[in-house]
């Protein structure tokens, strides 16, 4: 089975079904609830459980995979006959996951190219799926890695959170730190840019936040449509499906060419840092 295998981590929010269908290996990050660490998965710890734990004010945190977890994944792929691995992960400015993958890659029995996606959730997930499709058609690691990087860079992701408190606790807000204080009493809108989670607007109510998300989505879709023949869209949420579905319907009403949109819960790990009520939108144009 000589060829290129594609690996990612659980924050790409693919879920086991999409990952299995695409032949993508997934290394889970860890969710720690009241001192008990478990790997993120549908069978172990779910976004719904994270939302309940946060609402109950339990102690909730996350940790990156160990290099050993990546070593086991890479060794397993070598045993299955793969010649190379492209390992695509959460932005290195948000997590140390890429670093753990790079440590494992140094002693892997096959060549491993670690790609820092510079983003997260399905902005990374769509890039991973595109890379896996290209690899299945016989492309080499260099070609697959380049496509993944370009697809991730072309994707836009922005999201609404009820509060920045969870991002503050986890140290994931970076440039958003300046918004703390007054920002905690409003509804922040954020985006991932330059590999970091950064704020760009504040609104006073949830309804205004969702209207602004709609406007941002329409604008992003217009930009994507001008540069790509195909555009994939995903709406993420954490314990807020009603708002996610409302956003979907509003986008459909305004963009006549809109294709299929998937609504999914954001990964449990990302949910720990975003908090219940989060709604995110990913717009990912195909790249040549």
One domain for residues 201 and 233: yes
Decide if 48 is inside a domain.
no
One domain for residues 183 and 213: yes
Task: Return the minimum-mean-pLDDT range out of 167-171, 213-217, 265-269.
Answer: 167-171
Return the pLDDT at 57: 93
Return the pLDDT at 186: 75
Question: Which CATH number do you get for residue 97?
Answer: 3.40.50.10170
End residue of a domain, out of 136, 153, 170: 153
Question: What is the extent of the structural domain holding 248?
Answer: 156-285
Total count of domains within the chain: 2
Return the pLDDT at 74: 98
Compute the distance between CA of residue 116 and CA of residue 219 in angstroms, rounded to an integer. Answer: 26
- Reported as a pLDDT band with limits 50, 70 and 90, residue 26 is very high
pLDDT digits (tens, 9 = 90+) for 102-142: 999 999 999 999 999 999 999 999 999 999 999 999 999 99
One domain for residues 97 and 173: no
Statement: residue 178 has pLDDT above 70? no
Q: In the beta sheet, which residues pair with residue 279?
A: 160, 237
Q: Residue-wise over 11-30: b if at least 16 C-beta within 10 A, else e? A: bbbbbeebbeebebbbbbbb
One domain for residues 165 and 143: no
Task: Return the minimum-mean-pLDDT range out of 33-37, 60-64, 96-100, 257-261.
Answer: 257-261
One domain for residues 87 and 115: yes
One domain for residues 184 and 173: yes
Specify the higher pLDDT residue, 248 or 226: 248
Q: At a CB cut-off of 8 Å and minimum separation 6, what does 197 contact?
A: 94, 167, 172, 173, 174, 176, 190, 191
Which tokens in the block code for residue 186?
């409003």
Specify the higher pLDDT residue, 173 or 149: 149
Statement: residue 175 has pLDDT above 50? no
What percentage of residues in the chain have a pLDDT greater than 70? 94
Mapped onto helix, strand or coil, the DSSP state of residue 268 is helix
Task: Return the minimum-mean-pLDDT range out of 133-142, 172-181, 247-256.
Answer: 172-181
Statement: residue 234 has pLDDT above 70? yes
Task: Return the minimum-mean-pLDDT range out of 67-81, 125-139, 217-231, 257-271.
Answer: 217-231
Return the pLDDT at 199: 83
- Tell which residue, 85, 68, 254, 221, has the closest CA to residue 155: 221
Task: Return the minimum-mean-pLDDT range out of 70-74, 128-132, 139-143, 179-183.
Answer: 179-183
Average pLDDT of the residues of the chain: 91
DSSP-H helix ranges across 6-162? 15-22, 47-55, 67-79, 97-105, 121-136, 141-154
What does DSSP say about strands 60-63 and 196-203: parallel, antiparallel, or unpaired?
A: unpaired
- Reported as a pLDDT band with limits 50, 70 and 90, residue 170 is low
One domain for residues 278 and 141: no
Task: Return the minimum-mean-pLDDT range out of 22-31, 43-52, 102-111.
Answer: 43-52
One domain for residues 69 and 10: yes
């Amino acid at each position: 089975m000589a060829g290129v295998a594609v690996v990612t981590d659980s924050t790409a929010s693919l879920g086991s079904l999409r990952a299995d269908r695409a032949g993508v290996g997934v290394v889970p990050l860890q969710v720690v609830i009241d001192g008990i660490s478990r790997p993120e998965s549908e069978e172990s710890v779910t976004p719904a459980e994270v939302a309940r734990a946060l609402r109950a004010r339990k102690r909730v945190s996350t940790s990156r995979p160990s290099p050993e977890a990546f070593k086991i994944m890479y060794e397993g792929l070598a045993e299955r006959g793969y010649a190379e691995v492209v390992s695509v992960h959460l932005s290195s400015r948000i997590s140390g996951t890429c670093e753990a993958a790079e440590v494992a890659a140094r002693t892997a029995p096959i060549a491993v190219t670690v790609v820092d996606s510079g983003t997260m959730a399905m902005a990374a997930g769509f890039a991973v799926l595109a890379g896996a499709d290209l690899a299945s058609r016989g492309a080499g690691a260099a070609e697959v890695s380049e496509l993944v990087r370009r697809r991730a860079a072309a994707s836009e992701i922005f999201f609404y959170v009820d509060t920045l408190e969870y991002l503050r606790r986890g140290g994931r807000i970076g440039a958003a730190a300046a918004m703390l204080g007054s920002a905690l009493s409003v509804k922040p809108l954020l985006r991932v840019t330059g590999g970091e989670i950064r704020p760009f607007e504040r609104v006073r109510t949830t309804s205004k936040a969702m209207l602004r998300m709609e406007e941002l989505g329409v604008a992003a879709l217009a930009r994507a449509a001008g540069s790509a023949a195909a555009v994939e869209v995903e709406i993420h949420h954490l314990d807020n499906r009603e708002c996610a579905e409302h956003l979907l319907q509003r986008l459909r009403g305004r963009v006549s060419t809109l294709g299929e949109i998937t609504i999914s819960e954001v990964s449990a790990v990302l949910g720990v840092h975003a908090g219940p009520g989060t709604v995110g939108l990913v717009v990912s144009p195909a790249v040549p």
